[in-house]
């Protein structure tokens, strides 16, 4: 892989003002000279210059592009890199890439630029994964956490833990090598205490994954209710956009409609659904069936009730269906006199009730807070670093368990050989987090989830 020069489009597919093509490898500059048809092209590193790109045979100009050269090893991949900032016409970009392939480059695999940077020591595995997370981030809070990981914060937090683990391993190895008797009691107790401190530190870091997963994956929230209670109006109000069609005709919404919103840093996928009622209309029946599926799949159900009207049979049916899961009640139309409030409280089964008005926007902030509160008792504190990657969480848990296993063996006066097995496993797991000891097949699987141009 390292011997070849790769090329890919690094900006998203589609029409745009600018499209960036990235070339990386030992032949990057030679290929660029061929594309420019200028053998004397000798660019100053990290300085852009405007140059004509030409067809390889006729020499016709394809485009005028900004050409930027990054000299090895001071580049993203650690190799020579050339970036071509062209006009963002899809046929033009495809033609330029095809020309570079004709000249001898190879199409980059998903994540291959980043993987070359990892292999050449330009970044570690946690930083590489942070690049993917930064690209995929759906909220500002997720962007900030990915940026902190890209800056090496997770690696910096793990390094003292590795050092502390080695501080325990070294005397145990020395004892095994040079001392025939068991460890003195005072030293054994000191080592045991160090291991417990290490395990507790790892557990505290791993426990942040509950919030981290929420930050990365978000919540699925379904709005459910009988027709004409204001589900679609509420949906539009939260989006601040006329995304769903709203009319006075019952049964207007026939299908589910989903959009992602940001609630206090958490990406929330909200789904508007067809009103639940008995109908002979086959299309409306299909819509109600999809509503039932959306209710089952949701992390949170928002039962929307028209507070200005008496409770109906359909309202009771929706509350009954929602009661099998986590739900809250949105008492809509609080700009009108409330009807049947006592009955609603009796049927809520202690579920939170938010009084809102899709028309005026009153109570929307309280509704948003009620949606995320069961999943995050406290807000995601931007000052704290949290684990957002399931792979990291799994390895931290394995590390903790390996250390506790060794600590348990030590307290039972097991031999140093047995104690060291778990400690070396723990060291290996921490190395897997940052990539020092990660198997090649795992690396391949990780980078296969990246986009082509990264």
What are the strands of the beta sheet with 61-70, ordered from one edge?
49-54, 61-70, 81-88, 16-24, 6-9, 106-107
Helix (H, G, I), strand (E, B) or coil at 93: helix
**What pLDDT is attached to residue 1?**
41
Which residue has better confidence, 152 or 252?
152
Cα–Cα distance measured from residue 181 to residue 185, given in angstroms and rounded to the nearest whole number: 11
Instruction: Assign a CATH topology to domain 216-372.
Output: Rossmann fold (3.40.50)
- Determine what percent of the chain is predicted with pLDDT higher than 90: 43
Instruction: Report pLDDT digits (tens) over 341-351.
Output: 777 777 767 78
The domain defined by 6-123 carries CATH number 3.65.10.10:
no
pLDDT at 60 over 60: yes
* Side-chain-side CA neighbours of residue 164 (13 Å): 20
| Mean pLDDT within 312-322 | 80
The domain limits of the chain are 6-123, 151-208+387-433, 216-372
Q: Is 325 helix (H, G, I), strand (E, B) or coil?
A: coil
pLDDT category, 284, cuts 50, 70, 90?
low
Calpha distance 21→38 (Å, rounded):
19
Query: 324-344 pLDDT, tens per residue?
Result: 888 888 888 888 877 767 777
The yes or no reply on domain 151-208+387-433 and CATH 3.40.630.30 is no
Query: What pTM value is reported for the model?
Result: 0.77
């Amino acid at each position: 892989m390292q011997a070849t020069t790769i090329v890919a489009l690094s900006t998203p597919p589609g029409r745009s003002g600018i499209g960036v093509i990235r070339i990386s490898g030992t032949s990057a500059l030679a290929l660029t000279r061929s594309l420019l048809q200028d053998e004397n092209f000798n660019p100053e590193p990290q300085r852009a210059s405007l140059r004509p790109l030409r067809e390889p045979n006729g020499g016709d100009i394809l485009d005028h592009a900004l050409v930027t050269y990054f000299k090895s090893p001071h580049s993203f991949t650690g190799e020579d890199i050339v970036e071509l900032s062209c006009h963002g016409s899809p046929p033009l970009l495809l033609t330029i890439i095809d020309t570079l392939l004709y000249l001898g480059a190879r199409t980059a695999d998903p994540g291959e630029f980043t993987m070359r940077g990892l292999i050449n020591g330009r970044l570690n595995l946690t930083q590489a994964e942070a690049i993917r997370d930064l690209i995929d981030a759906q909220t500002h809070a997720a962007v900030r956490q990915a940026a902190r990981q890209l800056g090496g914060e997770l690696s910096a937090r793990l390094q003292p833990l590795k050092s502390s683990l080695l501080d325990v391993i070294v005397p145990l190895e020395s004892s095994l090598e040079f001392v025939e008797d068991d460890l003195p009691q005072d030293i054994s107790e000191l080592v045991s205490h160090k291991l417990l401190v290490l395990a507790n530190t790892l557990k505290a870091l791993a426990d942040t994954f509950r919030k981290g997963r929420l930050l990365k994956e978000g919540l699925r929230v379904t709005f459910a209710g009988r027709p004409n209670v204001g589900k679609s109006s509420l949906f539009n109000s939260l989006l601040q956009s006329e995304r769903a069609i709203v009319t006075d005709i019952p049964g207007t919404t026939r299908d589910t409609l989903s959009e992602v919103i940001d609630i206090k840093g958490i990406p929330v996928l909200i789904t508007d659904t067809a009103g639940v009622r008995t109908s002979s209309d086959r299309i409306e029946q299909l819509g109600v069936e999809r509503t039932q599926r959306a209710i089952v799949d949701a992390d949170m159900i928002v039962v929307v009730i028209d507070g200005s009207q008496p409770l109906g049979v359909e309202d009771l049916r929706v509350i009954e269906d929602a009661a099998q899961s986590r739900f809250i009640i949105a008492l809509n139309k609080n700009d009108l006199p409330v009807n049947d409030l006592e009955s609603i409280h009796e049927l809520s089964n202690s579920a939170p009730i938010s009084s809102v008005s899709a028309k005026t926007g009153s109570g929307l902030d309280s509704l948003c807070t009620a949606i995320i509160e069961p999943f995050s008792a406290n807000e995601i504190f931007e000052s704290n670093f949290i684990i957002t990657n399931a792979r990291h969480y799994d390895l931290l848990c394995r590390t903790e368990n390996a250390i506790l296993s060794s600590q348990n063996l030590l307290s039972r006066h097991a031999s140093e050989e047995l104690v060291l097995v778990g400690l070396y496993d723990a060291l290996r797991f921490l190395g897997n987090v940052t990539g020092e000891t990660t198997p090649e097949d795992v690396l391949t699987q990780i980078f296969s989830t990246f986009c082509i141009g990264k």
